[in-house]
């Protein structure tokens, strides 16, 4: 498979979407931290454990989602590397 150089537009979109994802994760954690503190009188170690669990869950979900999406793309009829019945 040939490697092609990514355009500056691709890298700009990648960086922008990555930043949006990180901001969304931080905002979600801020609100969930306040909820834990007010509802359950959680201390700092409880909140730190929740943030760690959230980071692990987000990482695993991202890896699984990308894996599924890439497998779906390779099996797509329009994918250039798709193996069809004629090539076997």
Angle between helices 8-40 and 44-74 (to 10 degrees): 140
88 is a domain residue: no
3-state secondary structure of 63: helix
47 is a domain residue: yes
Cα first-last separation, the chain: 18
Counted domains in the chain: 1
Which among 23, 17, 19, 29 has a CA at the least distance from the CA of 53? 29
Range of the domain at 20: 12-78
3 is a domain residue: no
19 is a domain residue: yes
pLDDT of residue 2: 67
Per-residue pLDDT of the chain (88 residues; tens, 9 = 90+): 567 788 888 888 888 888 888 888 889 889 988 998 899 999 999 999 988 998 899 889 888 888 888 787 766 666 666 555 444 4
CB 11 within 8 A of CB 29: no
């Amino acid at each position: 498979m040939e490697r092609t150089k990514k355009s500056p537009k691709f890298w700009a979109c990648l960086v922008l979407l990555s930043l949006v994802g990180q901001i969304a994760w931080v905002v979600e954690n801020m609100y969930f931290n306040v909820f834990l503190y007010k509802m359950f009188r959680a201390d700092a170690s409880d909140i730190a454990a929740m943030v760690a669990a959230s980071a692990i869950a987000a990482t695993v979900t991202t890896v699984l989602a990308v894996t599924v999406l890439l497998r779906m793309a390779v099996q797509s009829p329009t994918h250039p590397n798709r193996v069809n019945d004629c090539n076997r």
